[in-house]
Amino acid sequence: MPEFRKVVLVTGDDGRARFREEAVALDEGTPQARLSSLFASGGYQLRHSPVGFRSSFHCTPSPQWVFILSGRMEIGLQDGSSRVFGPGEHFYSADTLPAGATFDDQLHGHWSRQVGDQPLVTLFVRG
């Protein structure tokens, strides 16, 4: 059975953001058009980030899919690692602030930035 690989940005038990991958079963539809089950969503937003954009460390306010429509987006973690996503790529951002925690920019969250000479256009779909 084919599957969809879902890149997920999560908060670990230690409060730090990290990436992991999950399989999503494509067990509906037909052999010519395999589908996952239907997932609920809570709306979407589009964002344009100019060349040079970079955020500070932050947590995702609410879990959401992030789809790169054009340009390139780098996501950096507290451990110094990062991943770059380009047009047609995606990840599920679920690195929310742990319950009861006060945000600490030396421990929690991730930063994002536009990479290259093209503005970054993203689609956020709330989970």
With a CB cutoff of 8 Å and minimum separation 6, the contacts of 32 are none
pLDDT of residue 28: 96
Side-chain half-sphere exposure of 114, counting CA atoms within 13 A: 17
- pLDDT digit string (tens) for 73-125? 999 999 999 999 999 999 999 999 999 999 999 999 999 999 999 999 999 99
Which CATH number do you get for residue 62? 2.60.120.10
- pLDDT digit string (tens) for 19-60? 999 999 999 999 999 999 999 999 999 999 999 999 999 999
pTM to 2 decimal places = 0.91
CB 61 within 8 A of CB 108: no
Q: How many domains does the chain have?
A: 1
| Domain extent for 28 | 3-126
Please determine, for residue 1, whether its predicted confidence score (pLDDT) is greater than 80. Answer: no
Nearest-5° Cα angle at 31, 29 to 37:
25
DSSP 108: S
